[in-house]
Amino acid sequence: MRDIADQLLTEAWKARERAYVIGPTKVGCALLSGNGNIHKGCNVEHRYRCHDVHAEVNAITSMITAGDRHIAAIAIAAERNRFTPCGGCMDWIFQFADPESCDVFCQASPDGAVVGYRLRDLMPYYPR
């Protein structure tokens, strides 16, 4: 699983470089679909902030556009400690992933420690 985490995080950091932010936090995301494809996204912030698109949602909608429907693993790159998907992004991830088998990887710097979770561990009481 370490190889998948490294590959996804490398792609997430690349996607992060394309983020369009007004605030201080650029975020990149890469996910592995159930078909073995990698889909990427970055956050795109809107000047009024009510229409911001988070990196995870951007990657998921790219996955759907490409014809894939299942997330096997997802990685998030953001220069913030203990950064994990927000509740709204978790809703999207849960919609397209198996909470018992989907791995979520987070990294605060390109050469930093990789923190891994099982999706269910991030939201253990999420409705089934």
Q: What is the pLDDT of residues 58-114, one digit of tens each?
A: 999 999 999 999 999 999 999 999 999 999 999 999 999 999 999 999 999 999 999
Nearest one of 77, 17, 27 to 52, comparing CA atoms: 27
- The DSSP-derived string for the chain is -HHHHHHHHHHHHHHHTT-B-SSS--EEEEEEETTS-EEEEE-B--TTSTT-B-HHHHHHHHHHHTT---EEEEEEEESSTT----HHHHHHHHHHB-TTT-EEEEESSTTS-EEEEEHHHHSTT---
Q: How far is it, in rounded angstroms, from Cα 34 to Cα 61?
A: 15
State the residue range of the domain holding 66: 2-122
**CATH number for position 118:** 3.40.140.10
Q: Show Cβ contacts of residue 120 under 8 Å, excluding neighbours closer than 6 positions.
A: 99, 100, 126
Number of structural domains in the chain: 1
User: Is the residue at 9 inside a domain?
Assistant: yes
Q: Is the pLDDT of residue 128 over 90?
A: no
User: Is the residue at 115 inside a domain?
Assistant: yes
User: Is the residue at 127 inside a domain?
Assistant: no
User: Is the residue at 53 inside a domain?
Assistant: yes
User: Is the residue at 128 inside a domain?
Assistant: no
The sheet that has 27-33: what strands, in order across it?
38-42, 27-33, 71-78, 103-107, 114-118
| Percentage above 90 pLDDT, the chain | 95
Q: Is the pLDDT of residue 35 over 90?
A: yes
Q: Which of 17, 45, 56, 100 is catalytic?
A: 56
2: pLDDT confidence band, cut at 50, 70 and 90? confident
Does 11 participate in catalysis according to the annotation?
no
